[in-house]
Amino acid sequence: MWKISDDGRIDRLIVYVTVDGRPVPAGAITVEGGGRTRQSRFAYARSWLENGFPISPVLPLRSRAMVSAPHELPSPFYDAAPDGWGRGVLTAALPQQFFGMAEFLAAAGDDRVGDLGFGPTPESGPRAGRPAPPS
């Protein structure tokens, strides 16, 4: 189950890295605040800190959370999001849904290039999802 805010936005994404052909939870992105562009924090999972590697040179292995400011998400996650064409397809297909970066990452599901995937819980694995539009 995706963690959703009162305004219908995704507040938390589990970040998965494909290791030996299977997705492993590496950390979590927690999105905070209101408005169109929010801020977020990325923190590695304890298990990933013990056995993993930095998923990007700008996200070194460390136990404290890394803040995304001035961007909505830390920059390596933008590369995992749908490109401009993909964003256009999603917004056209789901016109009632507001898409920030967290929503784009979740909506794309595991159908992407690269080793990163996103899901709602550490147990779920990467999967597509989107919150219901606010009523």
> Average pLDDT per run of 10 along the chain, which is 135 residues long?
83 94 95 84 96 94 91 90 90 87 85 82 87 53
pLDDT attached to residue 97:
83
- Length of the chain in terms of residues written: 135
pLDDT at 131: 56
Specify the pLDDT at position 111: 65
At residue 37, the pLDDT reads: 78
The model carries a pTM of 0.89
| Token couple for 132 | 């219901």
Position 2 scores a pLDDT of 83
Q: What is the DSSP letter of 133?
A: P
Q: Where are the domains of the chain?
A: 3-119
Q: Which two tokens stand for residue 50?
A: 């013990």
37-73 burial by CB neighbour count: b if 16+ within 10 A, else e? ebbbbbbbbeebeeebeebeeebeeeeeebebeeebb
